[in-house]
Structure 1
Amino acid sequence: MTQLTMETVRADIAEVLYVAPGEVRDHDDLVQSGLDSVRIMNLVEQWKQAGAEVSFVELAERPTLAEWWELLAARLPGTTA
């Protein structure tokens, strides 16, 4: 199991968007960047397996990497934002 960090989350998002991790900026709207509901659900499941309990709705309401990381980091023991 991979430990989630902001950079691994960035890489996960980049992978489903078919872009380089450096193209995923902290405050870009990920939905406007092409992240659809199916891809968000896949990320939710992937991150739940890594120990972060988040929901599709929580991510959809806050569609930036910075907001997602804040939410994920708060739910991972031993992780710093």
Structure 2
Amino acid sequence: MERNPLTPERIRADVADVLSVRADDLTDDARLTDQGLDSIRLMTLIERWRAEGVDVEIVDLAERPTVAQWVERLAR
């Protein structure tokens, strides 16, 4: 069984890191594209998480661009 290292806190922290904002400044329902998330930053996150064994594709996240939706998809 694959171990998923992502927690809701980790997802929020990683997103904040690539957006150069404080994790507390990201609300669960804010569209990350409105916060400055672009395809380069999205791929940075995906590659970071894949390196840790997370099975994720760009379409999984691009179609659901909020922290809450990413937590639902990734932190299982």
Fold shared, TM-score > 0.5 on shorter chain: yes
1:40 corresponds to 2:42: yes
1:50 CA drift (Å): 2.1
CA distance in 2, matches of 1:6, 1:73: 6
Structure 1 partner of 2:10: 8
Where does structure 1 differ by over 6 angstroms across 4 or more consecutive aligned residues?
none
Q: Retained in 2: the 8 A contact 1:44–1:56?
A: yes
- When the two chains are superposed, the root-mean-square deviation of aligned CA atoms in Å is 1.0
Q: What TM-score results when the alignment is normalised by the length of structure 1?
A: 0.83
Quick one: higher RCO (CA 8 Å, sep 6+), 1 or 2? Answer: 2
**Structure 1 residues 27-49: Cα deviation after superposition (integer angstroms, max 9, x where no partner):** 10001110000000110111112
Amino acid at match of 2:67: L
- What SS class does the counterpart of residue 75 from structure 2 fall into? helix
Q: 2:7 aligned with 1:31, yes or no?
A: no
> Gaps (5+ residues) in structure 1?
75-81
Please state how far the C-alpha of 1:58 moved relative to its aligned partner. Answer: 1.2
Q: Deviations over 1:5-64 (max 9, x none)?
A: 100110000011111010111110001110000000110111112222111111000000
TM-score (ref. length: structure 2): 0.88
